[in-house]
């Protein structure tokens, strides 16, 4: 667990970076809320960010997000609403939570390699998938530009590009409801149209 990996507090719907967790905080676990009794740093080789369809994962019983943040970037600087961590800021304005942004960005990846097929992806030398690599490159470029206008443009472009994929995923997730419902609506419309036509012919 790196400082940027995110975990869920017991009473929060959105995760927070691990570096913000303190002794006494209550986090979500598979066995219910659990109080943090100690925090310590341990050095290990390797960095893992597995992707799941839900956007969350359970590690050693603790409920965590698959998203991670970079504690050195502007997305972790205090904002105008009490310095909430885990949020992406443009200038001094808190825009979107990193967990939600990360989940949205990976929508095409989840559809192709999770819901429709199983992909055998080759990791690069840093341990990232090709899809994640491009996302990280875009994030790095945005940070280097250090421009609120450029950041806003990139964020808007991402939202517009991902919107159709997000809708497709919602339809796939609710296929058992959407398909029968659509059939019922179409069937009802055909029956009513037929009844209306017969009434006109009388």
Q: Rounded to an integer, what distance in angstroms lies between the CA atom of residue 63 and that of residue 27?
A: 8
Three-state DSSP string of the chain: CCCCEEECECCCCCCEEHHHCCCCCEECECCCCEECCCCCCCCCCCCCCCCCCCCEEEECCEEEEEEECCCCCHHHCCCCCCCCCCEEEECCEEEEEHHHHHHHHCHHHHHHHHHCCCCCCCCCCCCCCHHHHHHHHHHHHHHHHCCHHHHHHHHHHHHHHHHHHHHHHHHHHCHHHHHHHHHHHHHHHHHHHHHHHHHHHC
Note the pLDDT of residue 25.
92
N- to C-terminal Cα separation, the chain: 75
Q: Rounded to an integer, what distance in angstroms lies between the CA atom of residue 160 and that of residue 27?
A: 34
pTM: 0.67
**Per-position pLDDT tens, the chain of length 202:** 778 788 999 888 889 888 888 999 999 999 999 999 988 888 777 666 677 888 888 988 999 988 877 654 434 443 323 356 778 777 777 788 888 888 888 888 888 888 787 777 777 676 677 777 777 777 778 777 777 788 788 888 888 888 888 888 888 877 766 667 778 788 888 888 877 777 776 6
Note the pLDDT of residue 29.
93
Note the pLDDT of residue 132.
73
Q: Are 146 and 154 in contact (CB under 8 A)?
A: no
| Those residues with Cβ within 8 angstroms of residue 87's Cβ, 6 or more apart along the chain or in another chain | 75, 79, 94, 95, 96, 97, 98
For residue 48, what are the CA distances in angstroms to 15, 42, 97, 199? 17, 15, 21, 66
Burial environment of residue 18 by CB neighbours within 10 A (0 to 12, 13 to 18, 19 or more): buried
């Amino acid at each position: 667990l790196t400082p940027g990996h995110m975990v869920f507090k017991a009473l929060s719907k959105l995760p927070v970076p691990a570096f913000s967790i303190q002794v006494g905080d209550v986090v979500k676990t598979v066995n219910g809320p659990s109080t943090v009794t100690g925090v310590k740093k341990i050095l290990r080789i390797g960095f893992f960010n597995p992707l799941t369809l839900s956007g969350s994962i359970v590690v050693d019983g603790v409920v965590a997000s698959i998203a991670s943040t970079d504690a050195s970037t502007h997305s972790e600087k205090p904002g105008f609403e009490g310095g909430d961590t885990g949020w992406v800021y443009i200038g001094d304005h808190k825009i979107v939570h990193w967990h939600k942004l990360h989940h949205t960005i990976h929508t095409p990846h989840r559809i192709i390699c999770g819901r429709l097929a199983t992909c055998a992806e080759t990791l690069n030398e840093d341990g990232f998938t090709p899809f994640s690599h491009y996302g990280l490159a875009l994030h790095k470029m945005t940070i280097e530009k250090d421009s609120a206008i450029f950041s806003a443009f990139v964020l808007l472009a991402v939202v517009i590009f991902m919107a159709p994929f997000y809708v497709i995923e919602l339809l796939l997730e609710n296929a058992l409801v959407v398909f029968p419902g659509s059939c019922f609506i179409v069937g009802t419309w055909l029956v009513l149209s037929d009844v209306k036509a017969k009434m006109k012919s009388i």
